[in-house]
Amino acid sequence: MKNSSSSSSLGAGGLDLSEVFFKSISNAAPPSPTKRHTKISVIGVGNVGMAIAQTILTQDLVDELALVDAKSDKLRGEMLDLQHAAAFLPRTKINASTDYSVTTGSDLCIVTAGARQNPGESRLNLLQRNVALFKSIIPPLVKYSPETTLLVVSNPVDVLTYVAWKLSGFPANRVIGSGTNLDSSRFRFLIADHLDVNAQDVQAYIVGEHGDSSVALWSGISVGGVPVLSFLERQQIALEKETLEKIHQEVVHSAHEVISLKGYTSWAIGYSVANLARTILRDQRRIHPVSVLAKGFYGIDGGDVFLSLPAQLGRSGVLGVTNVHLTDEEIKQLRNSAKIILEVQSQLGL
């Protein structure tokens, strides 16, 4: 499939009508060479990729959006569908191609391509089907956008973020996994629902693997700046451990529930990834629980491993990992999560 985009060359002989439709004012300077032009490429136009693309467009995050997929007909159809909404969206140039050259000069490359997760299937079971695919995706992205930041969404996201890092040769700060950013949103929603407050007033993190061994940081939960567990303790209100674990398990299994009901997840991950893209491209330096190179944090050793920790993000990717206090039990669970991921990685031979 050839690179496709909108064009102003409607005149005879390919005349660019934009040059004759408008008349320049006198004594005008040429466009500033320092004007920032932002570009995101989304690899994979399945349900998740298109939810991300649609959210990026409606939130006016970029000047240019490039879509890449192996299925040329679907790819062109998705591109046209988005272009036809131009009158209702902020002005964004939308390109699509099966050729990775369309991604040239991307500030952020979002990788969603991969096999769809089946109902009840562990994220880790998807690994072998996706590693081979990444070997055909990451090198061309690096070739055409050597200064880009890679944001991996494909599952199992932690291991595939490690794979992307190894294949790219990029510094670790420029390879990020979407990790538990969405899990933490689900966590905040459930806590807010229990307390009947707005989820935006709840600060709570899920860390570790984006999957079964994730860790709920109960010790750090606060609502409106009030630490929840210590407040309940001062009020002598008992909160059973089983209740806490039930909420955590709801988070862990929430994606499986959505998949069993509608066949896939899309909207929540679309908003989650667009939220990360906004923080990175606009250098907002917000803190997100995302998959980063975690070796050396909280006693994690034994090899290079990517898992989610609360990290400050900005234009250059990961600016640093937040020094969040964890209890001994939370540290133990986090190290176990790292061990599980490392065991899987050891089978890759990268």
Question: 278 Cβ partners below 8 Å, 6+ apart?
Answer: 59, 61, 284
CA distances from residue 338 to 67, 117, 211, 305 in whole angstroms, order as listed: 33, 22, 12, 7
Q: Is 120 annotated as a binding residue?
A: no
Q: Is 46 annotated as a binding residue?
A: yes
Spatial distance between the Cα atoms of 96 and 68, rounded to a whole number of angstroms: 6
Question: 5 Cβ partners below 8 Å, 6+ apart?
Answer: 93, 94, 95, 96
Q: Is 154 annotated as a binding residue?
A: yes
Helix (H, G, I), strand (E, B) or coil at 285: coil
Q: Is 173 annotated as a binding residue?
A: no
Q: Is 47 annotated as a binding residue?
A: yes
Distance linking the first and last C-alpha atoms of the chain: 32
Spatial distance between the Cα atoms of 61 and 42, rounded to a whole number of angstroms: 13
Query: Is the bond preceding residue 90 a cis peptide, omega within 30 degrees?
Result: no
Spatial distance between the Cα atoms of 61 and 139, rounded to a whole number of angstroms: 25
Structure tokens at 223: 């609502």
Helix (H, G, I), strand (E, B) or coil at 43: strand
- What ranges make up the beta strands (E) of 59-192? 64-68, 93-97, 108-111, 149-152, 175-177
Among the residues of 13-169, which ranges form H helices? 18-21, 47-58, 72-83, 127-144, 157-168
Q: Is 198 annotated as a binding residue?
A: no
So which residues are the catalytic ones?
210
Q: Is 220 annotated as a binding residue?
A: no
Cα 3 from chain centroid? Answer: 25
Q: Is 49 annotated as a binding residue?
A: yes
**63 and 37 Cβ atoms separated by less than 8 Å:** yes
| Cβ neighbours of 228 (radius 10 Å) | 20
Q: Given the structure tokens 């509608």, which residue do they identify? A: 262
CA distances from residue 330 to 42, 290, 322, 336 in whole angstroms, order as listed: 35, 17, 15, 10
Q: Is 193 annotated as a binding residue?
A: no
**216 and 248 Cβ atoms separated by less than 8 Å:** yes
Which residues line the annotated binding site? Answer: 44-49, 69, 130, 153-155
Which residues line the annotated binding site for NAD(+)? Answer: 44-49, 69, 130, 153-155
